[in-house]
Amino acid sequence: MTTTTAPELLVHADADALGRAAAAEAGRIIRTALETKRTVRMMLAAAPSQAATLEWLLREPGIDWSRVEAFHMDDYIGLVADAPQGFGNWLMQHFFDQIDSETTFNRIDTSNSPAEEAVRYGAVMGDERFDLVLLGLGVNGHLAFNDPPAEFAGAERARVVELDIVSRQQQVDEGHFPDVDTVPSTAITVTISRLLNADRIIASVPGEVKRQAAWDTLHQPIGPDHPGTALRTHPAVTLHVDRHSDPGTIR
Protein backbone atom coordinates (compact mmCIF):
# COMPACT_ATOMS: atom_id res chain seq x y z
CA MET A 1 0.00 0.00 0.00
CA THR A 2 1.37 3.42 -1.00
CA THR A 3 1.93 5.85 1.85
CA THR A 4 0.50 9.28 1.10
CA THR A 5 1.46 12.66 2.50
CA ALA A 6 -0.30 15.94 1.83
CA PRO A 7 2.12 18.49 0.36
CA GLU A 8 2.73 21.53 2.52
CA LEU A 9 0.56 24.26 0.94
CA LEU A 10 1.85 27.84 1.18
CA VAL A 11 -0.26 30.71 -0.18
CA HIS A 12 1.41 33.98 -1.21
CA ALA A 13 0.14 37.40 -2.21
CA ASP A 14 1.31 37.26 -5.82
CA ALA A 15 3.61 35.45 -8.22
CA ASP A 16 6.67 37.45 -7.19
CA ALA A 17 6.15 36.73 -3.49
CA LEU A 18 5.64 33.07 -4.38
CA GLY A 19 8.90 33.01 -6.31
CA ARG A 20 10.79 34.68 -3.52
CA ALA A 21 9.54 32.21 -0.92
CA ALA A 22 10.10 29.15 -3.13
CA ALA A 23 13.63 30.36 -3.94
CA ALA A 24 14.41 30.94 -0.27
CA GLU A 25 13.32 27.38 0.50
CA ALA A 26 15.36 26.03 -2.42
CA GLY A 27 18.39 28.04 -1.32
CA ARG A 28 18.22 26.55 2.17
CA ILE A 29 18.02 23.03 0.75
CA ILE A 30 20.96 23.56 -1.60
CA ARG A 31 23.17 25.17 1.05
CA THR A 32 22.41 22.40 3.54
CA ALA A 33 23.21 19.72 0.97
CA LEU A 34 26.48 21.45 0.06
CA GLU A 35 27.58 21.18 3.69
CA THR A 36 27.88 17.41 3.38
CA LYS A 37 28.10 16.66 -0.34
CA ARG A 38 30.65 17.59 -2.95
CA THR A 39 27.99 17.97 -5.65
CA VAL A 40 24.28 18.78 -5.39
CA ARG A 41 21.92 17.36 -8.03
CA MET A 42 19.03 19.60 -9.06
CA MET A 43 16.20 19.06 -11.56
CA LEU A 44 14.56 22.13 -13.11
CA ALA A 45 11.37 22.88 -15.00
CA ALA A 46 11.32 25.53 -17.72
CA ALA A 47 8.15 27.62 -17.91
CA PRO A 48 6.87 31.13 -17.17
CA SER A 49 5.50 29.77 -13.89
CA GLN A 50 9.08 29.14 -12.80
CA ALA A 51 10.49 32.53 -13.81
CA ALA A 52 10.09 34.31 -10.48
CA THR A 53 11.40 31.33 -8.51
CA LEU A 54 14.51 31.09 -10.67
CA GLU A 55 15.05 34.86 -10.66
CA TRP A 56 15.01 34.93 -6.87
CA LEU A 57 17.11 31.78 -6.64
CA LEU A 58 19.88 33.60 -8.51
CA ARG A 59 19.94 36.10 -5.64
CA GLU A 60 20.21 33.48 -2.91
CA PRO A 61 23.51 33.93 -1.04
CA GLY A 62 26.07 31.28 -0.19
CA ILE A 63 25.49 28.88 -3.10
CA ASP A 64 28.58 27.56 -4.88
CA TRP A 65 27.01 26.95 -8.27
CA SER A 66 30.17 25.26 -9.53
CA ARG A 67 29.20 22.35 -7.25
CA VAL A 68 25.67 22.03 -8.64
CA GLU A 69 24.84 19.49 -11.33
CA ALA A 70 21.60 20.46 -13.03
CA PHE A 71 19.14 18.67 -15.29
CA HIS A 72 15.93 19.73 -17.01
CA MET A 73 12.81 17.68 -17.23
CA ASP A 74 11.48 17.95 -20.78
CA ASP A 75 11.89 19.44 -24.23
CA TYR A 76 10.13 19.54 -27.56
CA ILE A 77 11.01 17.38 -30.54
CA GLY A 78 11.22 19.13 -33.90
CA LEU A 79 12.21 22.72 -33.09
CA VAL A 80 15.30 24.28 -34.64
CA ALA A 81 18.31 24.14 -32.33
CA ASP A 82 18.21 27.79 -31.26
CA ALA A 83 14.42 28.12 -30.93
CA PRO A 84 13.64 30.27 -27.87
CA GLN A 85 10.72 27.96 -27.06
CA GLY A 86 13.13 25.09 -26.45
CA PHE A 87 13.20 24.46 -22.72
CA GLY A 88 16.95 23.95 -22.57
CA ASN A 89 17.39 27.28 -24.36
CA TRP A 90 14.90 28.96 -22.02
CA LEU A 91 16.82 27.78 -18.96
CA MET A 92 20.12 28.94 -20.43
CA GLN A 93 18.73 32.42 -21.09
CA HIS A 94 16.79 32.88 -17.88
CA PHE A 95 19.03 31.07 -15.42
CA PHE A 96 22.37 29.53 -16.31
CA ASP A 97 23.66 32.47 -18.38
CA GLN A 98 23.07 34.66 -15.32
CA ILE A 99 25.38 32.62 -13.07
CA ASP A 100 28.97 33.84 -12.81
CA SER A 101 30.54 30.47 -12.01
CA GLU A 102 30.52 27.39 -14.23
CA THR A 103 27.57 25.11 -13.51
CA THR A 104 27.10 21.66 -15.00
CA PHE A 105 23.85 21.66 -16.97
CA ASN A 106 22.93 18.32 -18.53
CA ARG A 107 20.60 19.02 -21.45
CA ILE A 108 18.24 16.91 -23.50
CA ASP A 109 19.70 16.84 -27.01
CA THR A 110 16.73 17.04 -29.36
CA SER A 111 18.99 16.76 -32.42
CA ASN A 112 19.39 13.05 -31.67
CA SER A 113 16.94 10.34 -32.58
CA PRO A 114 14.18 10.85 -29.96
CA ALA A 115 14.06 7.24 -28.79
CA GLU A 116 17.85 7.05 -28.56
CA GLU A 117 18.01 10.39 -26.77
CA ALA A 118 15.48 9.30 -24.16
CA VAL A 119 17.73 6.33 -23.38
CA ARG A 120 20.91 8.44 -23.42
CA TYR A 121 19.48 11.15 -21.19
CA GLY A 122 18.07 8.55 -18.84
CA ALA A 123 21.54 7.08 -18.50
CA VAL A 124 23.01 10.52 -17.79
CA MET A 125 20.49 11.00 -14.96
CA GLY A 126 21.09 7.51 -13.65
CA ASP A 127 19.36 6.36 -10.49
CA GLU A 128 21.07 8.64 -7.97
CA ARG A 129 18.49 10.72 -6.13
CA PHE A 130 18.08 14.39 -6.88
CA ASP A 131 18.69 16.61 -3.88
CA LEU A 132 16.04 19.02 -5.16
CA VAL A 133 13.41 19.11 -7.88
CA LEU A 134 11.83 22.44 -8.87
CA LEU A 135 8.67 21.89 -10.88
CA GLY A 136 5.27 23.27 -11.76
CA LEU A 137 1.88 21.93 -12.76
CA GLY A 138 0.36 22.06 -16.21
CA VAL A 139 -3.17 23.32 -16.72
CA ASN A 140 -4.12 19.65 -17.10
CA GLY A 141 -2.10 18.73 -14.01
CA HIS A 142 0.86 17.35 -15.91
CA LEU A 143 4.25 16.91 -14.27
CA ALA A 144 6.96 17.66 -16.83
CA PHE A 145 5.23 16.51 -20.04
CA ASN A 146 3.54 13.51 -18.46
CA ASP A 147 0.03 14.36 -19.62
CA PRO A 148 -3.01 12.44 -18.42
CA PRO A 149 -3.40 9.54 -18.38
CA ALA A 150 0.12 9.44 -16.98
CA GLU A 151 2.31 6.48 -16.13
CA PHE A 152 3.34 6.68 -12.45
CA ALA A 153 5.52 3.63 -11.96
CA GLY A 154 7.30 2.84 -15.23
CA ALA A 155 10.93 1.73 -15.13
CA GLU A 156 12.05 4.23 -17.79
CA ARG A 157 13.84 7.38 -16.65
CA ALA A 158 12.83 9.36 -19.75
CA ARG A 159 10.52 8.67 -22.65
CA VAL A 160 9.13 10.06 -25.89
CA VAL A 161 5.52 11.26 -25.51
CA GLU A 162 2.68 12.62 -27.61
CA LEU A 163 1.48 15.95 -26.20
CA ASP A 164 -2.23 16.29 -25.63
CA ILE A 165 -4.17 19.26 -26.97
CA VAL A 166 -4.46 20.92 -23.56
CA SER A 167 -0.69 21.01 -23.13
CA ARG A 168 -0.22 22.37 -26.64
CA GLN A 169 -2.91 25.03 -26.17
CA GLN A 170 -1.26 26.08 -22.90
CA GLN A 171 1.91 26.93 -24.83
CA VAL A 172 -0.13 29.15 -27.16
CA ASP A 173 -1.95 30.83 -24.26
CA GLU A 174 1.39 31.59 -22.61
CA GLY A 175 2.57 33.32 -25.76
CA HIS A 176 5.24 30.88 -26.92
CA PHE A 177 3.59 29.93 -30.22
CA PRO A 178 1.14 31.74 -32.51
CA ASP A 179 -1.31 28.83 -32.75
CA VAL A 180 -1.66 25.23 -31.71
CA ASP A 181 -0.60 23.90 -35.12
CA THR A 182 2.88 25.38 -34.60
CA VAL A 183 3.35 23.68 -31.22
CA PRO A 184 5.31 20.43 -31.57
CA SER A 185 3.16 17.37 -31.00
CA THR A 186 5.91 15.26 -29.42
CA ALA A 187 8.49 15.74 -26.69
CA ILE A 188 11.00 13.95 -24.53
CA THR A 189 10.10 13.98 -20.85
CA VAL A 190 11.56 12.71 -17.62
CA THR A 191 9.13 10.18 -16.16
CA ILE A 192 7.14 10.75 -12.98
CA SER A 193 8.90 7.93 -11.15
CA ARG A 194 12.27 9.54 -11.92
CA LEU A 195 11.10 13.00 -10.87
CA LEU A 196 9.95 11.62 -7.53
CA ASN A 197 13.33 9.98 -6.90
CA ALA A 198 14.38 13.07 -4.97
CA ASP A 199 14.97 14.23 -1.42
CA ARG A 200 12.88 17.39 -1.74
CA ILE A 201 10.37 18.73 -4.27
CA ILE A 202 9.25 22.35 -4.57
CA ALA A 203 6.28 23.15 -6.81
CA SER A 204 5.76 26.75 -7.94
CA VAL A 205 2.19 27.13 -9.24
CA PRO A 206 1.06 30.74 -9.78
CA GLY A 207 -1.92 32.07 -11.71
CA GLU A 208 -5.65 31.51 -11.92
CA VAL A 209 -5.36 29.04 -14.82
CA LYS A 210 -3.50 26.66 -12.48
CA ARG A 211 -5.99 26.82 -9.60
CA GLN A 212 -7.97 23.76 -10.66
CA ALA A 213 -4.77 21.78 -11.22
CA ALA A 214 -3.61 22.69 -7.72
CA TRP A 215 -6.96 21.62 -6.25
CA ASP A 216 -6.93 18.36 -8.20
CA THR A 217 -3.39 17.63 -7.02
CA LEU A 218 -4.49 17.90 -3.40
CA HIS A 219 -7.95 16.34 -3.57
CA GLN A 220 -8.49 14.03 -6.54
CA PRO A 221 -7.86 10.28 -6.17
CA ILE A 222 -4.21 9.50 -6.79
CA GLY A 223 -3.93 8.18 -10.31
CA PRO A 224 -3.10 8.76 -13.96
CA ASP A 225 -6.04 11.06 -14.74
CA HIS A 226 -4.50 13.72 -12.49
CA PRO A 227 -0.70 13.44 -12.74
CA GLY A 228 -0.06 16.02 -10.04
CA THR A 229 -1.58 13.66 -7.47
CA ALA A 230 1.67 11.68 -7.68
CA LEU A 231 3.17 14.39 -5.49
CA ARG A 232 1.10 13.00 -2.61
CA THR A 233 3.15 9.80 -2.76
CA HIS A 234 6.32 11.75 -1.85
CA PRO A 235 7.06 12.66 1.79
CA ALA A 236 8.71 16.07 1.23
CA VAL A 237 6.79 18.32 -1.17
CA THR A 238 6.02 22.01 -0.79
CA LEU A 239 3.31 23.48 -3.01
CA HIS A 240 3.65 27.26 -3.39
CA VAL A 241 0.60 29.04 -4.83
CA ASP A 242 -0.52 32.66 -5.03
CA ARG A 243 -3.92 34.11 -4.21
CA HIS A 244 -5.06 33.48 -7.77
CA SER A 245 -4.10 29.79 -7.81
CA ASP A 246 -5.07 29.12 -4.19
CA PRO A 247 -7.06 25.85 -4.30
CA GLY A 248 -8.77 26.87 -1.06
CA THR A 249 -10.90 29.31 -3.07
CA ILE A 250 -12.60 26.40 -4.85
CA ARG A 251 -15.67 25.25 -2.91
Q: pLDDT tens across 99-128, in order? A: 988 899 999 999 999 999 999 999 999 999
Question: What distance in Å separates the CA atoms of residue 91 and residue 47, rounded to the nearest whole number?
Answer: 9
Query: Quick one: 187 exposed, middle or buried, by C-beta within 10 A (0-12, 13-18, 19+)?
Result: buried
84 Cβ neighbours under 8 A, 6+ residues apart: 90, 93
Distance in angstroms (rounded) separating the CA atoms of residues 251 and 235: 26
Contact 169, 180 (CB under 8 A): yes
Can you give the pLDDT at residue 5? 87
141: exposed, middle or buried (Cβ count in 10 Å: 0-12, 13-18, 19+): buried
Domain-wise residue ranges, the chain = 11-59+66-241
- Residues 33-61 have pLDDT tens digits of 999 999 999 999 998 999 999 999 999 99
Torsions phi, psi of 36, nearest 5? Answer: -125, -10
For the segment(s) 11-59+66-241, the CATH number from 3.30.70.260, 3.40.50.1360, 3.30.930.10, 3.40.190.10 is 3.40.50.1360
